């Protein structure tokens, strides 16, 4: 079920999810690819937030660092599997965030 949380609650949830992504990225450091911790898409006046959903690598192009998109799946078969973050889309509407409450159960305790 979708629930609404305020910004402070949202920040706490995101922090807990991002730490899973950082930890995982530190485990796969030798592969030169990342699960992107925090990815924002603005579309149709809404803001969509994706945590640890997409694979990227960092490249320097013309002196500027860029995220290079690698897809939704583990790009290298041998790598350990990513953390089990429930598939979800976080949508920001006005000043509230709409999330799947499943994520709250996952992060409890």
Distance CA 64, CA 83 (A): 29
| Cβ proximity to a copy of itself, 2 vs 40, nearer residue | 40
Name the one range near a copy of itself by CB under 8 A: 63-71, 74-82, 96-104.
Answer: 63-71
| Sheet (strand 34-35) strand order | 34-35, 55-61, 64-71
- Per CB under 8 A, the list member of 2, 6, 40, 104 interacting with a copy of itself is 40
> What's the closest the beta carbon of residue 95 comes to a copy of itself, in angstroms?
7
Which residues share a beta bridge with 97?
5, 92
Strand order across the beta sheet in which 90-93 lies: 2-5, 96-100, 90-93, 46-50, 39-43
> Rule CB under 8 A: is residue 13 a binding residue for a copy of itself?
no
Report the interface residues with a copy of itself, using CB under 8 A.
Answer: 7-8, 11, 15, 18-20, 22-23, 26, 29, 34, 37-38, 40, 42, 47, 58, 65-67, 95
């Amino acid at each position: 079920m979708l629930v609404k949380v305020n910004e402070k609650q949202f920040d706490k949830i995101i922090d807990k999810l991002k730490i899973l992504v950082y930890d995982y990225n530190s485990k796969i450091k030798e592969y030169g690819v990342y699960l992107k911790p925090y990815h924002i898409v603005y579309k149709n006046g809404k803001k969509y937030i994706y945590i640890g959903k997409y694979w990227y690598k960092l490249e320097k192009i013309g002196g500027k660092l860029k995220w290079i998109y690698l897809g939704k799946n583990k790009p290298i078969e041998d790598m350990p599997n990513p953390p089990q973050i429930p598939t979800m889309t976080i949508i920001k509407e006005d000043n509230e965030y709409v999330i799947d409450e499943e994520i709250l159960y996952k992060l409890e305790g």
